[in-house]
A and B are shown apart, each in its own frame.
Chain A
Amino acid sequence: MAQRTAETRNEGPLKNTPAMNRSSNTTAVFSTALALRLALFQFPTLVSILGGQVEIATPITSFKRLSEGVFLYRNGVPPYDGGVFHQAPLLLGLFYPVISSPILVKLLYILSDLAIGFMLLRITQIKDRDAAKDERIRHDLTPNLGLFWYFFIEMFDQFRPFFIIVFQIHVFIFAAPISIKLRNHPLFVAFLLSTVMGTFKGYPSVGDASLYLGLLPLCSEIFKYMRYSFLIANLFMYSSLLAPIFWYLWVYVGSGNANFFYAIGLVYGIGEIILMIDTTYALMRRDFEAQSPPQPSDEASSHGWDREVVQK
């Protein structure tokens, strides 16, 4: 699921095309997406390589673990009575009838991708949606792009429960203040909260990034108020390029160690954090400009929106 949804990232901006030629454009985009997926499925090695990447598949999104869960269930072994399968029972139910047929599984992925694309399209049209999620505490320390796995590998035993609680609270503690403060911008709140979760959840993957990066263009009006877009873009590119390399150096070649991959996760995390801070700042700044536009007679008007402003 993860690697499929990751590709929807590309569709986000396209959904914002002008309304007049939208329908013809949409058909073109959707058929291209369909064709692209069908083409990609012709390379089974690509699918298995991507499915095994730690940036993409986490313990709660791994298709391999899902297959194992379905297999155990099919053979009368309780799938949750073991350490392998952690996924939602609904997923088990959904994949139980189709998993033996690879074509149906591929079809399911393609359809869900198209559905996601269609929903993003609808959201753009309506621009009026909200989202919420919650998380469960787990103890699988398989590395991912998040900040937690290495932290809890290295954490002293007696402090582990404390930090697990603190970090899990951290994921949803922002929901209330953000929802109150930015209550006039539900779409941006959806983006921000999904970014918070995508950053601070226990098992984030690029699938989570694809969600918030897909939602980000819905608020494209704030882009011009952002101060660090170049830095953010660089951090994202830097980490997505180096993460697989450092993983390979650590786990396969042995010439690097866990710190390499952890450092890249940290860079990625900083990128996400700066993205959140900067977009929030930009949104609020835009609001401020809208509510108290510079007076034509004002001295600062010559600078447009670039006048000196401080937060108090």
Chain B
Amino acid sequence: MLLLTGALLALSISSASVSASSAGQEAFTAKDAIPILKAPEAFHEELVLKPLNDGSVYSHFQFTTHIGTVMDEEHFEGAASNLFTHYNLFPRSIGQILHSFDVEELHLTFTQGRWHYGDWGYPIAPSVGTGVELWAWLNDENKQTDTNWKGLTNTLSGLFCASLNFIDDTITIEPKLSFRNEGLYNVHTRSPAAKNNTESRTNPRKLRYGSLPHENVCTENLTPWIKLLPCKNKSGIASLLKSHKLFDTRFYSMAIHVRPVCEDELCSVKSLELVQSVTTVFDVARHDGSYDWTMTGLFEREITQACPLATTSKVVLHLPQTTEYRNQYQLVPFPPQGAYSIGSTQDNIQEIAVYDLKTDLETHPASTPFQISLRWENSRPKSVLPISPGIVAHRYFTGYGQEHGGLAIEIHNNNEQDVEAIYLDTLPWYLKLYLHTFSIQLNGKTIDNQRDLVQKMYYQPAVDRSRPAVLELALRLPAKSMVKFSVSFDKVFLKYTEHPPDANRGFDVGCAVITVQLPRERGQIGYGGLDHLRIYQEREASLVQSRLTMDEDDGDEAQVIKRQESEMDRIRVYTETLLVSLPTPDFSMPYNVITLTCTVIALFFGSIFNLMTRNFEVVEPKGAKDAKGKGKSD
């Protein structure tokens, strides 16, 4: 299967490159009067490490590639077609995919394991749903979205050696409230001032979302992912990526995100940003119970130099947040410029140690290879700051037997204030949802007036073998509360060919996703999703700051909102994936069933045919010649 997809991919890539270059030439001849200046491409690499409260070590690799143009707004579209004719740092395979399928934004995440919100807080990576998650905003100018989506899934399937081609119509959805556009560019165009100028320029675009909860992630997916990096894993932070160690972890997630962003506050310089990330949670204490770790111990590899192509190359360590007294641990080496704090208020302050590999490794050859170790007094922390994530959600099945079932979702709001949240649930068509059984409990008590909690509800009923059921709710979660939804469903009886080879294992049901704006809090790993780098980087920090000051012109109210939003982070909380077992037929029975059923039907047909076509006659006594009884009705 994969070989075949690979061959198809090769074909589609070659044809795509032909069409891309011809389109590029056309664009060039048509627009050669326009000054198209290539902005330098830029590549940033970064590794964020954080010791977690349960002794695990969180690591987040993030590689950011920008490909940009210096363009004013009306020429941006023309430049976009020119964008994909030259490749230096930006991976050509991704560029061609974006170009040939009219993709504006692309998010693909492979995840193995389950993220434990209660122990670990929120991750930097925005998607942590088990399995594969793919969502994209596609340009719908030519009304080709469905074709493009199909092409996109199949091509990515070949590129990453994954079963992404199974994201077909039966699992693809179009969320109405969740998975909005990301990136500063889109934030910018959403602000009222920018909207007036660019209203004519906004393209019709469509969202597509699909997930494969049962997809396993392994080395064959990581290898093509590494190939997209400018330095591969030959140098720089990526040289730590050893699949042997990465997949021997409690949690592993790998993603690519492509989105348009602004390079300056007026958004006159736009660029396309490709973020590649790998997130793992190492179980350090597994062997001997010791919470001590070294970078070599975690990755079994070393960084000898920064990637020469990288503009910035940093390792960021979130220092453990201990209570009682500070010096419970020893960090070697401590950064020469010292640790500093991010966050503005008492609630979200976080001490970080930043190591700049460019300067450290290139100017101090003695520090090669780069090494960090963290040791605790007595190998364990005495006391750490507990983590309580603002929103935690769980989803589970209720009921028994293989005929009916129920779905229950619990959302805990630990915040001191009400929180607006959007809940998205996709259920495969073989669970027949009965929305009239939908009920809500608030802190254990069933409430009748659902309007207080559910402000909007969007429901798409499933159609057998063609589309899933989608339930999307805009919620207002009361402060310090537990809201529980429940709904019942019937399990569908599938044809024997629709069951997987391991039919009695059951079917996986993907995560539900809760999108929520939360205030940044202390002790959490990293907020800001993909934008977290901007918190560390002066360049980005100033950009965010200037954007904020510009928005102050919008008026006091908008200013207040903006200021609040700057302290808020949009987070997606993923629930567990579920396993549902459906009633199975006897797979060895097709011939028996066909023959037995047909026999019974033939029995009836034959007998009725007999009765309908023949008449009664009296049997003649022996030797008698003339008939006694003749036909009765005809």
Please say whether chains A and B are actual partners in one complex: yes
Enumerate chain A interface residues (CB-CB to B < 8 A).
52, 54, 64-65, 67-68, 70-72, 75, 77, 81-84, 139-143, 147, 149-157, 167, 170, 174, 177-178, 181-182, 184, 199-200, 250-252, 254, 257-259, 262, 266, 269-270, 273, 276-277, 280-281, 284-285, 287-288, 291-292, 298-300, 307-312
Contacts of A65 in B (CB 8 A): 434
A277 to B236, CA, bound (A): 84
- Besides the known contacts A142-B492, A199-B604, A276-B608, 13 further A-B residue pairs in the complex with CB atoms under 8 A apart: A67-B434, A71-B436, A83-B463, A84-B433, A140-B464, A153-B585, A156-B497, A178-B612, A251-B401, A270-B600, A277-B608, A280-B608, A291-B632
Contacts of B434 in A (CB 8 A): 64-65, 67-68, 84
Decide: A284 and B616 in contact? CB cutoff 8 A.
Answer: yes
What's the Cα separation between A271 and B616 when bound, in Å? 24
Inter-chain residue pair count (beta carbon < 8 A): 179
Question: Once the chains are docked, how many angstroms separate the CA of A276 from the CA of B611?
Answer: 11
Is there contact, CB below 8 Å, between A139 and B464?
yes
- Cβ contact of A141, chosen from B400, B460, B495, B604, cutoff 8 A: B495
Query: Could you give, for residues 594-634 of chain B, a 1 whenever the CB lies within 8 Å of some chain A CB and a 0 otherwise?
Result: 10110011011101101110111111010000001110111
A68–B585 CA distance with the chains assembled, in angstroms:
27
Q: How far is the CA of A259 from the CA of B496 in the complex (A)?
A: 13
> Chain A's nearest CB lies how many Å from the CB of B101?
28
B614/A312 in contact, CB under 8 A? yes
Please, which residues of chain B bring their CB within 8 A of the CB of A68?
434-436
Taking CB atoms, residues of chain A closer than 8 Å to B632 are: 284, 287-288, 291-292
Contact, CB under 8 Å: A281 / B611 = yes
Q: Are B495 and A152 in contact (CB under 8 A)?
A: yes
Residue of A139, A150, A153, A170 near B601 (CB, 8 A) is A170
Residue B416 interfacial (CB < 8 Å): no
Cross-interface CB contact of B493 among A142, A177, A276, A307, cutoff 8 Å: A142
Known: A277-B604, A292-B632. A258 touches B586 (CB 8 A): yes
A142 to B433, CA, bound (A): 15
User: Contact: A259 with B589, CB < 8 Å?
Assistant: yes
Chain B interface size band reads 35 or more
Please tell me if the beta carbons of B608 and A174 are within 8 angstroms of each other in the complex: yes
List, in ascending order, chain B residues with CB within 8 A of A67's CB.
434, 436
Task: Verify B401–A252 contact, CB threshold 8 A.
Answer: yes
Docked-complex contact B496 and A153, CB < 8 angstroms: yes
Contacts of A52 in B (CB 8 A): 403-404
Q: Please report B residues at the A interface, Cβ cutoff 8 Å.
A: 400-404, 429, 432-436, 459-465, 469, 490, 492-497, 583-586, 589-590, 593-594, 596-597, 600-601, 603-605, 607-608, 610-612, 614-619, 621, 628-630, 632-634
Q: Which of A84, A156, A292 contacts B461 (CB 8 A)?
A: A84
- Are B600 and A147 within 8 A (Cβ)? yes
Instruction: Give, as a whole number of angstroms, the nearest-CB distance from B307 to chain A.
Output: 52
**CB-based nearest B residue for A291:** B632
The smallest C-beta distance from B402 to any residue of chain A, in angstroms, reads: 5
Contact of B586 with A259 in the complex, beta carbons under 8 Å: yes
**What are 25 sample pairs from A and B whose C-beta atoms fall under 8 A apart?**
A52-B404, A64-B434, A68-B434, A71-B435, A81-B461, A83-B432, A83-B464, A84-B433, A140-B464, A153-B494, A155-B495, A155-B594, A157-B495, A177-B612, A251-B402, A252-B401, A252-B403, A257-B586, A277-B604, A288-B632, A292-B630, A292-B632, A307-B619, A309-B629, A311-B611
Taking the closest CB of chain A, its distance from the CB of B632, in whole angstroms, is 5
The SS class assigned to the A binding surface is helix
- Residues of chain B contacted by A64 (CB below 8 angstroms): 434, 490
User: Quick check: A310 and B619 within 8 Å, CB to CB?
Assistant: yes
- A309 in complex: contacting residue of B459, B586, B618, CB < 8 Å: B618
Question: Cβ of A288: which chain B residues have Cβ within 8 Å of it?
Answer: 615-616, 629, 632
Least CB separation from A52: chain B residue: B404
Give A250's nearest chain B residue, CB to CB: B583
Query: In the complex, which residue of chain B has the Cβ closest to the Cβ of A280?
Result: B611
List residues of chain B with CB within 8 A of the CB of A251.
401-403, 583
**CB-CB < 8 A to A284: which residues of B?**
611, 616, 632-633
Contacting residue for A157 out of B402, B469, B497, B607, CB 8 A: B497
Contacts of B432 in A (CB 8 A): 83-84
Contact A258 B584, beta carbon cutoff 8 Å: yes
Alpha-carbon gap, A155 to B596, bound state (A)? 12
Q: Which residue of A lies closest to B434 (CB)?
A: A68
Contact A151:B603 (CB < 8 A) given known A141-B493, A312-B614: no
CB-nearest residue of chain A relative to B608?
A174
Residue on A with the closest CB to B435?
Answer: A71
Contacts of B633 in A (CB 8 A): 181-182, 184, 284, 287
Instruction: Pick from A71, A170, A308: contact of B619, CB below 8 A.
Output: A308
Give complex CA distance A220, B298 in Å. Answer: 87
Shortest B461–chain A CB gap in Å is 3
Shortest CB-to-CB span from A23 to chain B, Å, is 37
Q: B466 — nearest CB in chain A belongs to which residue?
A: A83
Name the one of B495, B603, B611, B616 contacting A310, with C-beta atoms under 8 angstroms: B616
Inter-chain contact A300/B618, CB cutoff 8 Å: yes
Q: Chain A residues with Cβ under 8 A from B634's Cβ?
A: 181
- CB contacts (< 8 Å) of A181 on chain B: these are 611-612, 633-634
A252-B402, A312-B614 are known contacts. Are A154 and B600 too (CB-CB below 8 A)?
Answer: no
Among B404, B463, B464, B589, the residue within 8 A (CB) of A154 is B589
